[in-house]
Amino acid sequence: MVRRYAFRLPLHPASVGLARRRVRDHLTDWGHGPDAPSLTDAVLLVSELATNVVRHGPRTEADFEVAVTALADGSCLVEVSDEDRHIPSLRPVDDEEAGRGLHLVEHIAAAWGVWSRGSHGKTVWALMHAEM
């Protein structure tokens, strides 16, 4: 069975914690144990992706979207969407803090990337495989 939960949050720093709680609660309700690595990783990835949107997202928008999908094989897909059309990269930057979150995403996720939504911005996604 595939389960998906999506929600919108205000473009505000407090939304990062709310995104973590909502994803944790739904994955737990769907049978992921509270200490399961996939749950911990999904919550961490949501935190990093939501933080990127809040820090670097378009100031012309009032909110952003978070989605979590539990796939039939036990894998988990996390998505964070905003109206910004800029595609993030892992290229080196002068600011030591900038880009650190996406390096963490690359290290934790089995795969990650960006889907363009054309004039409606982008979705940054990360996939965690099921625990073996």
Assess whether pLDDT exceeds 70 at residue 34: no
Q: Quote the CA–CA distance of 19 and 14 in Å, as a whole number.
A: 9
Residue 98 structure tokens:
């900038």
Query: Model confidence over 68-81: pLDDT tens digits?
Result: 998 888 889 999 99
Q: What is the pLDDT of residues 39-98, one digit of tens each?
A: 888 899 999 999 989 988 777 778 999 999 988 888 899 999 998 877 665 444 444 455
d(CA 49, CA 79): 8
Beta strands in 84-128 (DSSP E): 111-116, 122-128
Q: Report the pLDDT value the prediction gives residue 90, as an integer from 0 to 100.
A: 47
Rounded to whole angstroms, the Cα distance separating 92 from 73 reads 35
Per the prediction, the chain carries an average pLDDT of 84
110-132 residue pLDDT tens: 999 999 888 888 999 999 887 64
Structure tokens at 30: 């769907």
Q: CA-based Rg of the chain, rounded to a whole angstrom?
A: 14
Confidence band of 20 (pLDDT split at 50, 70, 90): very high
